[in-house]
Amino acid sequence: MNHEIETIQQHLAKLRQVIEQHNYNYDVLNNPSIPDAEYDRLFHELQQIEHRFPQLVTADSPTQRVGAPPLKAFSQITHRIPMLSLGNALEDAEVAAFDRRMREDLEVDCVEYAVEPKFDGLAVSLRYENGILMTGATRGDGYVGEDITLNLRTIRAIPLRLTADPLPAVLEVRGEVLMLKADFMKLNQQQRENGEKEFANPRNAAAGSLRQLNSGITAARRLTFFAYGIGIGEGSTVPKDKHNHIMEFLAALHFPVAPECGVVKGLDALQQYYHDVGSQRDQLPYEIDGVVYKVNSLAQQEKLGFVSRAPRFALAHKFPAQEAVTELLDIDVQVGRTGALTPVARLKPVIVGGVTVTNATLHNADEINRKNIMIHDSVVVRRAGDVIPEVVSVVLEKRPSNAKPFDMPDHCPVCGAKAVRLPEEAVVRCIGGLFCPAQQKQAIMHFASRRAMDIEGLGEKLVAQLVDNAMIRTPADLYKLGLSALSGLARMAEKSASNIVAAIEKSKNTTLARFIYALGIRNVGETTAKELARHFGSLDSLMCANIEDLQQVTDIGPVVAQSTVDFFSEPHNREVIEQLRFCGLRWIERANKTGESAHHLTLAGKTFVLTGTLPHMTREEAREKIEKLGGKVVGSVSSKTDYVIAGADPGSKYDKAVKFGIKILDEAGLLQLLH
C-alpha cells in the first residue's frame, strides 16, 4: 500500500511539473507547446487523482491556483528589506544631473546602468523558502504590506515552486502585477455585458482583482507578473555582482522578465533607451509610465546608498503626462452603427503626449453631468495608448461667464427619429434603426460583411456612393440594384458591376444564423446569432419570441434578450426583413424543438449556467445533455440558479456563483449528475 502511494505521489509530482511547464510556456513565454485540449486533459487527470487522494494535494499543485475560501481580512506582512520608492525625473536635465551624481560619487568616467520599463501595476514581494512560494505581499507603506498569498497563487505567471539545484534557502522576488491591455479590454467588455462597472485603466483593474478577500475572483481574472529585482536572497547561486545577472537568474527560475530590460553605458544611452521605449509604448502589451535606470554594479549600488525612502542609485524617468488643459469649444452628438448617440467634445487643438487632439469623447450625458462639464469650460483631456482621447474633468476655477450647459437631444440629430434611453443603459439611442442615414451605411456594410451575407466587392466606398446617391437606404435595396444602375456609377467598370451583381445574387442563398447576424441586432454577435438560429430553428419563431423565451437560449441574458425583442418590435426593421424575404433570400428552417418524454426528466425544474471551457465537451453539447434530462440552461447567474458548470477560464458568472453561494461543478461533476 505504501509503495502504491509512493508511486502515485511520484506520478503526481511529474504531472504537476509538466503542467507548470505548460503554464510557463503559455503565460510567460507566450509560446504554447500543446493544444488546449491536451492541457485540459492533463489538468483533469491531476484533479481526478487529487480528488481520490486528498491527502496528496500540495500547496504548490496547479489545481490550487483556482482560489480558496474568502478571507475575513488580510493579515499583515513586515518587509525585512523595505520596498522603497524611486526618485522621479521628467526633464532631460534631471537625468543628466543624476548621471553626473553617479559619476562623481563613484569616481568613474562612465557608469553602467541596467535599464527597464517602469511597469504601471502593483508592486508585490514573493517569498520562496527552499523553492516553495510561502507568502506574497503588497508593498503597503513600504515597510508593512498585506498578505495576499492566496490571490498571488492564482496568477499562472508566478511559479509556485522553483526548480534549481541548489535551491536558494530564501528568495524574495520583487516585481509588479499587471493586467495586459488585451485582457483589460476583454474584462471591461464582460463588465459591460453584465451591466457591471467598468474599470478606468488596467492598473485599477489589476488592483481591483488582486485586493480581493475572495481569491476565487482573482482566479477568474487574467493577471500577469514581471520581476524587477529581489529583496532577501540567501544562497550561493544568488548573483552578488550585477543587477542584470539577478534578472537573468530570475528568468532562469522561470520568473517573467520583460524583454525590454537591458544594460547600457553612459548618459546618451539612457536618453536613447527612454526614446526607444517611449516610441514602442503604445504597441507594448502592458502599460508603462516611464523607464527605470539602475546602477548595474551591486557594489556601486551599496556605495551610493539611500536618501530618505529611495535608493540614490536608481531613477524613474517618467513619460510626459498624457493629459493637457484646453477649451471645450462645443459639444456635437454623433450617431454610431447601433444608433448610440455619443456626445463629442470639440476642443481648441492641444498637444497631449505628443499628439494634437481636437476631439474627445464625453461618453454619455451622465458622465457630462457627473463631471459638471459646460460648453466653453477649460477641461482636462487625457490620451491613453491608442484609445480615443477623453475629457477627464473640468477646471472649475476657470469657468467663464458664458459657460453653457449641454442638453442631450431627445431626437436623433441625423434622422429626427426619437432618441430613447433604456432603463439600465447609460446611452441614449436613436430608434430609427435601419432607416437612420447615419446608421444606414454602417448597417449595410455590416450586412454585406464576410461573416454576415458575404457580398464580395461591396466595400465601404461603394456603399457610401450608393447611399449618398440615394440608390439604397436599406440592405433590402441591394437586391433591387440592377446592372445598369451599378455600371452607371462613377469609376465603375462594366466587369466589376457584373461581379457585384453576381455576388449579391449569390448571397441570397444563406443560413439562418448568417441572416440573424447580418441584421445587426445590438449585442447579437456571430456566436449569439448561431445560438438563436439553433434554438429557434426558424425566423418566424425568433421574431415571435418574448424575453423569457430568449433567455432560454445558451448564454443569452436579459440585455441581449431585450435588444432582440426591441429590434423585432420596430416596424421599420420588420418591413426590411419582409422585403429581404420578398427579394428571395432563403435558408433552411426546421420546426421548433420538441420536448423529451417525461419519465427521464431527472433534472426537471433545475436551472444551470455554463461558463468557461469544459475539457471534453463544448458548452452546446453540455446544454443538450442537460436539456435532454429536462434541465434549463440560462445565460446569467441569479439567486434562482441551481448549478454553475465551470470550465477553464470561467467568466464573471463564476464570481457571481461564488457570491450567491451557488453550487459550482466541473465537467466531471456535471457528468455525475447526468448519470
Active site residues: 118
C-alpha cell at 349: 487643438
Cis preceding linkage at 256, omega within 30: no
Does position 146 bind ligand IVH by CB under 6 A?
no
Does position 312 bind ligand IVH by CB under 6 A?
no
Does position 137 bind ligand IVH by CB under 6 A?
no
Q: Which of 12, 28, 102, 123 binds ligand IVH (CB under 6 A)?
A: 123
Q: Which of 79, 139, 156, 242 binds ligand IVH (CB under 6 A)?
A: 139
Nearer to ligand IVH, 86 or 379 (CB): 86
Q: Which of residues 98-117 bind ligand IVH (CB under 6 A)?
A: 116
Q: Which of 95, 257, 292, 434 binds ligand IVH (CB under 6 A)?
A: 292
Report in angstroms how near the CB of residue 451 gets to ligand IVH at its nearest: 41
Which one-letter amino acid corresponds to residue 514?
Answer: R
Nearer to ligand IVH, 228 or 447 (CB): 228
Q: Which of 15, 46, 86, 269 binds ligand IVH (CB under 6 A)?
A: 86
Q: Decide: residue 283, CB within 10 A, 0-12 exposed, 13-18 middle, 19+ buried.
A: exposed
Does position 243 bind ligand IVH by CB under 6 A?
no
Q: How far apart are CA 284 and CA 214, in angstroms?
A: 30
Residue nearest to ligand IVH (CB): 123
Tell me the window of 163-171, 311-319, 360-368, 375-383 that interacts with ligand IVH (CB under 6 A). Answer: 311-319
Q: How far apart are CA 460 and CA 415, in angstroms?
A: 21
Q: Which of 21, 64, 85, 579 binds ligand IVH (CB under 6 A)?
A: 85
Nearer to ligand IVH, 50 or 116 (CB): 116
Q: Quick check: 239 and 88 in contact, CB under 8 A?
A: no
Q: Which of 39, 43, 119, 608 binds ligand IVH (CB under 6 A)?
A: 119
Report in angstroms how near the CB of residue 98 gets to ligand IVH at its nearest: 14
Q: CB neighbours of 397 closer than 8 A, spacing ≥ 6? A: none
Place of cell 499628439: 355
Give me the helices (H) in 194-266, please.
202-210, 215-220, 243-252
> CA neighbours within 13 Å on the CB side: how many for 374?
13
Nearer to ligand IVH, 15 or 227 (CB): 227
Site track for ligand IVH across 148-187, x = CB under 6 A: ----------------------------x-----------
Nearer to ligand IVH, 311 or 630 (CB): 311
Report in angstroms how near the CB of residue 261 gets to ligand IVH at its nearest: 8
Nearer to ligand IVH, 289 or 575 (CB): 289
Place of cell 436539456: 627
Does position 304 bind ligand IVH by CB under 6 A?
no
**What HEC string does 577-619 produce?**
HHHHHHCCCECCCCCCCCCCCHHHCCCCCCEEEEECECCCCCH
Q: How far apart are CA 326 and CA 378, in angstroms?
A: 5
Does position 251 bind ligand IVH by CB under 6 A?
no
Nearer to ligand IVH, 276 or 596 (CB): 276
Nearer to ligand IVH, 225 or 435 (CB): 225
Report in angstroms how near the CB of residue 128 gets to ligand IVH at its nearest: 19
Does position 64 bind ligand IVH by CB under 6 A?
no
Q: Which of 316, 350, 384, 455 binds ligand IVH (CB under 6 A)?
A: 316
Tell me the window of 84-92, 390-398, 506-514, 576-584 that interacts with ligand IVH (CB under 6 A). Answer: 84-92
Q: How distant, in Å, are the alpha carbons of 73, 197, 246, 440, 569 from that of 433?
A: 50, 27, 60, 8, 11
Q: What are phi and psi of 8, to 5 degrees?
A: -65, -40
Place of cell 482560489: 67
Q: Which long-range contacts (CB under 8 A, 24 or more apart) does 647-651 make?
A: 647/610, 647/611, 647/612, 647/613, 647/614, 647/615, 647/619, 648/36, 648/40, 648/43, 648/612, 648/613, 648/614, 648/615, 649/222, 649/612, 649/613, 650/220, 650/611, 650/612, 651/190, 651/220, 651/611, 651/612
> If binding means CB under 6 A, how many residues of this protein chain bind ligand IVH?
15
> CA neighbours within 13 Å on the CB side: how many for 580?
28
Enumerate binding residues for ligand IVH (CB under 6 A): 84-86, 116, 118-119, 123, 139, 176, 228-229, 292, 311, 314, 316
